[in-house]
Amino acid sequence: MHETDENLMLAVRNGEVGKLAFLFDRHHRLLFDFFAKLTGSRAAAEDLVQDVFFRILKYRGTFRDESRFKAWMFHIARNARIDYYRKHHTGTLPAEDRDTEPQSRFGMPGDDLEQEQQVFLLECALLKLAPEKREVLILSRYQDMKYEQIAEMLGCEVSTIKVRVFRAIKELRDIFFKLSNEKPPCNVKKSVNSLRIM
Amino acid sequence: MQCEEVREQFADYVIARVEAPAPLEIVEHLSSCAACRAELDELKSLWMQLENAPATEPTAELQARFDVMLAAYEEGLRRPVHNWRRPVLEFAAAAALLVIGIGVGYRMHTPPARNPELAELQSELHQTRQMVALSLMQEQSATDRLKGVGWSYRLQEPGADVLQALLDTLMHDSNVNVRLATVDALRQFGNQPVVRRGIVDAMTRQEAPMVQIALIDLAVDLKEKESVGSLQQLTQDHNIDPAVRDRAEKGLEQLR
């Protein structure tokens, strides 16, 4: 029988910590993609996912009966991300520390080079946004979270999130157009690691 | 409606979060304002393109790291230590160790064959030390985790769970002093294959130069040939601290 995330987490909270393995299985890819897009680094993303699940164990007692797991997990993810940036004394990873190569360069269905280049530029533009703006865009676009969920997670009003998303996408567009007129489009470090896992 | 007022509503319509049709006043404004229409189309197009960015996939190592972490945590929980009980438990553990230690010392003076309780007492002592080490390594305070690492020195033959807890601390502890202390503690178990592997793995994954240098020193002292690959990787990494790179180069020479 399929157990809900919330029931699994309640079981974890109540001492059946082994059940966290099911939650990890369900959510670690999603979380990894979130962090990879947010930091531009696979190594950092893996560390952060590990950190989030460790924090889930550590703070499992704070999961309330009425909490929604995904929102709670992303709340923890956000704190982990803030601590990570604080530890690295930066609001975003410098280009030379990034190890993700925008994947679109390595072929897309139909091998549409123009589209490939567009997506590549868009990924570069996303990495140039301020972390707070990148975060709401990623949550909204890739994690498919509703404004209400994001607002709950970030502890602010829905209207604030709407404004933030709108500003973020406008700024993304400006950076995107700026990058379109630049060569090379962005400085992203190529690494053996990123190529290995393509 | 003014353009700015209309555009403030775009977050809903660009991202199609609102299923209901746009309010009449917005529709009317858009039909008569080419600039707002163009802006909306442009943002919508950008939003759609974002979807084309492929999802990034983690390596299998992430799963392995999680499994190790969960197993270590479960092991720690099997010996729960509640904060309010900890001082009492520590005192009890110390008292028990003293009594057991005296018992073991006393029995050591007579041949083991005539003292069947000796093995049991030694086992009890060992288990108590392991329990204290594992419990302390789970603590939130870095000072307590340091104590936990320190307890490992009292173990002649640590169980797999203690070694794993030490390796997990080396890999993931947020405090650099705890990680450094763990490198020192692992030295005593350098004859264990799992420890040697852990040291090699950690070498390229640590971020603190001090810990990296301590790991290189340890690998060289243990004459761990398997570390050559990691050392070469460090010598070629131009982003790491120059002192680490120099030490890695020297380490390679020493292992040759």
A127-149 tens-digit pLDDT: 889 888 888 888 888 887 888 88
**Distance of residue A103 Cα from the nearest chain B Cα, in angstroms:** 7
Between the CA of residue A86 and those of A46, A48, A83, A90, what are the distances in Å? 17, 13, 5, 6
Residue A23 and residue A69 in contact, taking contact as beta carbons nearer than 8 Å = yes
What are B164's two structure tokens?
Answer: 């794993």
Residue A44 and residue A77 in contact, taking contact as beta carbons nearer than 8 Å = no
Higher pLDDT, A194 or A153: A153
Interface with chain B: mutation pick from A28, A56, A57, A124, highest number of B CBs within 10 Å: A57
Q: What is the pLDDT of residue B18?
A: 56
Q: Which of A58, A166, A197 is opposite residue B10, by nearest beta carbon?
A: A166
Residue with tokens 């690494």: A191
Q: Which residues of B touch A146 (CB under 8 A)?
A: 17
Interface with chain B: mutation pick from A32, A149, A175, highest number of B CBs within 10 Å: A32
**Distance of residue B255 Cα from the nearest chain A Cα, in angstroms:** 26
Evaluate if residue B220 carries a pLDDT over 70.
Answer: yes
Q: What is the pLDDT of residue B115?
A: 60
Task: Please tell me which residue of chain A has the smallest CA distance to B64.
Answer: A50
Q: What is the mean pLDDT of chain B?
A: 77
Residue with tokens 């018992």: B103
CA distance B23 to B1: 11
A68-102 core/surface letters (b: 16 or more CB in 10 A; e: else): bbbbbbbbbbbebbeebbeeeeeebbeeebbbbbb
CA distance B62 to B43: 36
Task: Tell me the residue type at B183.
Answer: V
Residue B135 and residue B105 in contact, taking contact as beta carbons nearer than 8 Å = no
Residue A37 and residue B52 in contact, taking contact as beta carbons nearer than 8 Å = no
Task: Please tell me which residue of chain B has the smallest CA distance to A88.
Answer: B207
CA distance B27 to B201: 60
When pLDDT is averaged across residues B171-176 and rounded to a whole number, the result is: 79
Q: What is the pLDDT of residue B103?
A: 60
Residue B181 and residue B169 in contact, taking contact as beta carbons nearer than 8 Å = no
Residue B225: name the closest of B188, B183, B187, B255 by CA: B255
Residue A80 and residue A51 in contact, taking contact as beta carbons nearer than 8 Å = yes
Evaluate if residue A97 carries a pLDDT over 50.
Answer: no
Q: Which residues of B touch A163 (CB under 8 A)?
A: 8, 11
Q: Which of B8, B57, B59 is opposite residue A166, by nearest beta carbon?
A: B8
Task: Please tell me which residue of chain A has the smallest CA distance to B68.
Answer: A50
CA distance A11 to A5: 10
Q: What is the pLDDT of residue B44?
A: 83
CA distance A135 to A121: 18
Residue with tokens 């601390």: B169
Q: Which of A15, A29, A163 is opposite residue B58, by nearest beta carbon?
A: A29
Mind listing the pLDDT tens digit for each residue in B126-165?
666 676 677 777 766 666 777 778 777 777 777 787 888 8
Range from A15-24, B14-23, B181-190 carrying the lowest mean pLDDT: B14-23
B32-60 core/surface letters (b: 16 or more CB in 10 A; e: else): ebeebeebbeebbebbeebebbbebebee
Q: Which residues of A touch B42 (CB under 8 A)?
A: 173
When pLDDT is averaged across residues B169-180 and rounded to a whole number, the result is: 81
Mind listing the pLDDT tens digit for each residue in A49-83?
999 999 999 888 999 888 889 888 988 998 888 88
Residue contacts between A and B (CB atoms, under 8 Å): 121
Q: Cβ B52–A166 below 8 Å, yes or no?
A: no
- Distant-in-sequence, close-in-space partners of A90: CB < 8 Å, separation ≥ 6: none
Q: Which residues of A touch B12 (CB under 8 A)?
A: 162
Question: Residue A28 — pLDDT band, cuts 50, 70, 90?
Answer: very high
Task: Tell me the residue type at B12.
Answer: D
Q: What is the pLDDT of residue A145?
A: 83
Q: Which residues of A touch B61 (CB under 8 A)?
A: 46
Residue B236 and residue B230 in contact, taking contact as beta carbons nearer than 8 Å = no
Q: Which of A50, A115, A169 is opposite residue B65, by nearest beta carbon?
A: A50
CA distance A24 to A110: 33
What are A60's two structure tokens?
Answer: 């499992």
Q: Cβ A108–B59 below 8 Å, yes or no?
A: no
Q: What is the pLDDT of residue A105?
A: 38
Q: How many residues does chain B have?
A: 256
Evaluate if residue B214 carries a pLDDT over 60.
Answer: yes
Mind listing the pLDDT tens digit for each residue in B52-100?
777 888 988 888 888 888 888 887 777 655 555 556 556 666 666 666 6
Is residue A131 packed enough to be buried (19+ CB in 10 Å), middle (13-18) or exposed (0-12)? middle
When pLDDT is averaged across residues A14-27 and rounded to a whole number, the result is: 94
